[in-house]
Structure 1
Amino acid sequence: MREMEYVWILVFAGILLVIGLVMISLNALLGPREPQIYEDYPYECGVPLYDKDAQTTFHQGYYLLGLLLLLFDIEAAFLFPWSVVYRYLGVFGFIEMFIFIFILTYGLLYAWKKGALDWQFEIEEV
């Protein structure tokens, strides 16, 4: 009888497959036929380029800012599980998280002082 519980997973997967195929078919039948002007246009960092040449370089600050945002988002996401089990950790858990937040704050202040959070970047031409 335990094997019958897995049948619903297969039914759900089949329904998802049918819905996906229907959506793709509707797109092929009802979608536009002629290509768009900017379909092959290079696109980087959320800013469309002004020419078709994708060989321009961008200031490394954009990439540094993206890495910092990703780093702090992941570390902030670590705070949520900690807050759920906080009452079981006691004083040791509180001190450990205080040190963790202190290191995060120090890293943020260091990046801020070095100008990594500055949005005044210029596009460099090759």
Structure 2
Amino acid sequence: MVWIVVQTFSFPYEAQIAKTQLEAAEIPAQIENEHMINMNWLYSNALGGVRLLVPEVYADEAKVILAQDFSAELEQRFGVNEECCPNCGSKNIEAYIKGKKPAYIVFLLIGFPLFFYKHGNKCKHCQYFWS
């Protein structure tokens, strides 16, 4: 039986998820380079990533299964929590740590960490921060 590469991944957990999808569809699959990249992730690019292999007769079917996108189903089933800025209503927000740079500088100067920063969200549009 000839095994061929149907997809490559940067991280082993991604290959495990894809392998599980294929096995659920009763397609035999193997993962190559998983343990080497787990030991030293910097080898990922040098080795060509974590490779997902299937028998040649299942290759086309496996590629179709791996190309499916289930994000719309997940959004429909579990809903999307689209948070928006309380100041301007923009949905263009990011997780942000306020006071991180000054805390780092104080740590460098006096050698003692002062944790006076806050975790929250920041609007990329109006720069408003909230917890």
TM-score, shorter chain, exceeding 0.5: no
Which has the larger helix fraction? 1
Question: With structure 2 as the length reference, what TM-score do the two structures score?
Answer: 0.27
Question: With structure 1 as the length reference, what TM-score do the two structures score?
Answer: 0.28
Which has the larger strand fraction? 2
Which has the higher relative contact order, 1 or 2, with Cα contacts under 8 A spaced 6 or more apart? 1
Larger Rg: 1
